[in-house]
Structure 1
Amino acid sequence: MPSVGVADSRTGNTPSFETTSAQLLNPEKTPKPPQLPRNFRGKGKWIVRDLGITVPFTWEGRNGDSQMIAGGPQYPIWFTNLIYRNNLYTLTYKWPNLTKQPCSKIPGFNRELLNDKLKTSRFVGREILQRNPKRFVNHWRVGVVLPERPPGLFLRFPLALGDIYVDQRNRSTFWQVLQFGLQNLYDPELDEWAVMNSWEHKPGKVTLPARCPAP
């Protein structure tokens, strides 16, 4: 079966930055799931489409720690997410209608736990992101649904969903990520996109903000 682009839930259209074309390479063999590398540097855009906001975005890793930074003081949104010394940190500096947000810390979270979760991803298909240059990717989906129940009529809630597009030649090169769920609580539609323009497998820079509690 041909692979299909991810459509805009509000218009039914597939925007140019995420449009995909059919491509099945070795269709009988499922590739290995995504894995976040220890060291990397990525640059691109963070897109909140229902708010009409697009800001610069960086995602870097160093020795297993990693940091996302979207926007900055001159942009309408500005936040950072970190995996730092076995802790998960989130600090939102700016967001529409948000006056103040402290740095949150969830202990006991690291790259190994993240990659263990990525191992449970479901393979969607091999696709081509229609950009310049075109990106040949493997499309994966991972989710968190609680409580865990067997198939059937049970009450359950989808807490988080991610669509992950990694390079077909290297599952540790991330070209696009959709986040949907409670982790996007500030966004009215609960979905946000990371679209990467570059990705290098070299140590990046990870800095814990002064407002965040030390490990």
Structure 2
Amino acid sequence: MKLGKITKTLLAASLASLMSMSAMADKYVIDTKGAHASIQFRIKHLGYSWLTGRFNDFKGEFTFDEKNLAASQVNVVIDTKSVDSNHAERDKHLRGNDFLDVSTYPKAIFQSKSVVTGDNGTFQLVGDLTLHGVTKSVTIDAEHIGGGNDPWGGFRNGFAGSTTIKLKDFGIDYNLGPASETVELELHVEGIRQ
């Protein structure tokens, strides 16, 4: 079947448009060296108070086009051994078989799948979280904090986000009581454009 001249022109224009859209999404590396990014968590302790912590070592990258937020992508790899709740004995327990089992599962990985845009720079980042050997879809409520030139000649963009996960969904079933079945994650990401 032969394509007409108009059809060929439309196909070429569509392809060029798609290629230019993906080319406009800038690539960023998350600034963990400068400690301008953090992955924090909190979980209720027996329902009486909040236990807080963070992961000290992680790396990642993202693509971002402010005019086409839906085309953005995020990939993050977390070193589970770096869990830090500011208490050595508790951290040893968190690294053990009851929780993260870091000798078997040394990495947690988040890979975005889609972005659902909202109002005023807010959006939902949907992706796969692999933790404790289990991969589940999670949705992160996020917002674009801002972007611009930095004092060192680079260009940055920053975001904040939060989500809640159920420990049992990831095969972690250590009984901490009904008030401690979910973990809240708080994410702050600042990336340097490459």
Q: Where on the TM-score scale, by shorter chain, does this alignment land: which range?
A: 0.3 to 0.5
**Quick check: which has more Rg, 1 or 2?**
2
Using the size of structure 1 for normalisation, the TM-score is 0.38
